[in-house]
Chain A
Amino acid sequence: GAGVSQSPRYKVAKRGQDVALRCDPISGHVSLFWYQQALGQGPEFLTYFQNEAQLDKSGLPSDRFFAERPEGSVSTLKIQRTQQEDSAVYLCASSLMGTGWDEQFFGPGTRLTVL
Chain B
Amino acid sequence: GQQVMQIPQYQHVQEGEDFTTYCNSSTTLSNIQWYKQRPGGHPVFLIQLVKSGEVKKQKRLTFQFGEAKKNSSLHITATQTTDVGTYFCAGIGSSNTGKLIFGQGTTLQVKP
Binding site for B on A (CB under 8 A): 31, 33, 35, 40-45, 48, 50, 55-56, 58-59, 91, 93, 98-109
Contact = CB atoms under 8 A, between A and B. Distances in A.
Nearest to A6: B42
Contacts of A41: 104-105
A42 B31 contact: no
Nearest to B30: A101
B42 A107 contact: yes
B92 A43 contact: no
A106 B100 CA distance: 13
A108 B98 CA distance: 21
B4 to A, nearest CB: 8
B5 to A, nearest CB: 10
Contact of B92 (A31, A50, A100): A100
Q: How large is the interface on B (under 10, 10 to 19, 20 to 34, 35 or more residues)?
A: 20 to 34
Given A42-B88, A91-B42, A104-B45, A56 B102 contact: no
B99 interface: yes
Nearest to A100: B98
B90 to A, nearest CB: 8
A58 B30 CA distance: 19
The CB with the most chain A CB atoms within 10 A, among B31, B48, B100, B105, is that of: B100
B31 A103 contact: no
Contacts of A108: 41-42
